[in-house]
Amino acid sequence: MNFATIRAALQAGIYKVINPFVRLLIKLGFTPNAVTLTGLLLNIGVAIVFIVGGEEGNRGDLRYVGWGGALILFAGLFDMLDGQVARLGNMKSTYGAMFDSVLDRYSELFTFLGICY
């Protein structure tokens, strides 16, 4: 079994799990760009959680690291969802692909700034 086969199997499994949620988002009228923007806002929330944890002065307390890590995973889910909303909702566009890529970089920036604080 090669890498491409394993990747395709994993991707099919993940999409099988998230596609019902994607269809719900489409039915509710969410656009891929709205999902992308939500992911950015969640990553800003991640940075805030890490900064608040650093400002508490109790750096040995790992609650903030746990909450920040959970939010990173949740925000990462939105990065997967936006592309799938575009594909299943037939809303693919060059602008949307660029918007997603740029906001992904900003999301990473905010996350790393929060961690480094």
User: Residue 57 has what pLDDT?
Assistant: 65
What Rg, from alpha-carbon coordinates, does the chain have? Answer: 16
Binning pLDDT at 50, 70 and 90, where does residue 50 land? Answer: confident
pLDDT at 33 over 90: yes
Low-confidence winner among 30-44, 49-63, 71-85 (lowest mean pLDDT): 49-63
Task: Give the residue, 25 or 57, on which the prediction is more confident.
Answer: 25
**Model's pTM, two decimal places?**
0.85
The first and second tokens of residue 26, run together, are 């489409």
Could you state, in order of their start, the residue ranges of all structural domains in the chain? Answer: 3-116
pLDDT at 23 over 80: yes
CATH architecture, domain defined by 3-116: Up-down Bundle (1.20)
User: Residue 59 has what pLDDT?
Assistant: 63
Task: Give the pLDDT mean for 27-48.
Answer: 95
Tokens 């969640």 sit on residue: 42
Provide the H-helix boundaries in 1-117: 3-27, 32-55, 63-88, 94-116
